[in-house]
A = this chain, B = another copy of it.
Amino acid sequence: MATQKKDANAAEVTIWERMDRPAPAARVALSPQKIAAVAVEVADAEGVGAVTMRRLAKELGVAPMAAYRHVSGKDDLWALMVDRVSAELSVPDEVTDWREVLRSFAVQTREMTLRHPWLGSMPAPLFALTPRRLAVAERQLAALDGLGLDVDVMMAAFRAVTAYVYGAARSEVVLRQYMEEHGWWSPDETRRGLAPQMRYLMGTGRYPTYRKYAEHAARKDDAAWEFETGLDCLLDGIAARLGL
């Protein structure tokens, strides 16, 4: 394979060599969309840690640096990924009740985050001015519009829900990842695995209430219930405080 690159180039190349040379190839093999698609696939399958420029290049059958023609670097890539999966969120147009709209997006966002755990570990989801994320925000703000709310309050309500959802989903994801890293595939296995730490910490006697929870709680593993309980509290509070 060594001497492929002679200086007297074209003329000397045998037809055979010519024949199994890669391919004329469709001119543009890459595009931001393709790159984002592959990145999402890899991140879903193996975690965000597996998303490296080299890995994407390999997956795309392309040289390590090729992708840089289409995305400026890792940051661009994150934004593209976030925008891409945001398409999974949708609430039917018929639904107009503010509370139903916000609740539906919240529940869907949690599910999306569990499907794409890497979402929690990038900055973009919270800030990101991407088209699809903005569309999601717009839909929720529109549902809150026309209710006589001050525009600042409206945004505060929307953002409060977003913050809650992000924090709650993130904590679920982090727990799952921690379990996976340790090879714990069930809540019980996890408790067994954590037992040494717990024994030591609880042994200090400094956390009696927490201990009571650890020993007597009945819904410790019902994350969806916990999520929705908190969400409903928040929506209640918004409704009350904002006079909706």
- The number of chain A residues touching the other chain, given as a range, is 35 or more
Determine whether the beta carbon of B168 is less than 8 Å from that of A163: yes
Chain A 182-210, CB-CB to B under 8 Å as 1, else 0, gives 00000000000010111011001011111
Q: In terms of DSSP, what is the predominant structure of the interface of chain A?
A: helix
Q: Which of A26-34, A57-65, A213-221 contacts B (4 or more CB under 8 A)?
A: A213-221
Most buried by B among A145, A201, A216: A201
Q: Name the residue of chain B whose CB is nearest to the CB of A129.
A: B197
Q: Name the residue of chain B whose CB is nearest to the CB of A229.
A: B156
| Smallest CB separation, A194 vs chain B (Å) | 7
Contacts of A12 in B (CB 8 A): 196
Is A90 close to B, CB under 8 A? no
Determine whether the beta carbon of B152 is less than 8 Å from that of A219: yes
| Smallest CB separation, A39 vs chain B (Å) | 20
Known interface pairs A206-B135, A236-B240. Does A226 touch B159 (Cβ–Cβ under 8 Å)?
A: yes
Contacts of A229 in B (CB 8 A): 153, 156-157, 160, 241
Determine whether the beta carbon of B177 is less than 8 Å from that of A123: yes
Q: Can you give 10 contacting A-B residue pairs, CB < 8 Å?
A: A127-B171, A129-B197, A129-B201, A134-B201, A141-B209, A160-B168, A166-B170, A229-B241, A234-B237, A237-B240
| Inter-chain pairs besides A126-B175, A127-B175, 7 sampled, C-beta below 8 Å | A9-B196, A135-B206, A159-B171, A159-B230, A233-B234, A233-B240, A237-B237
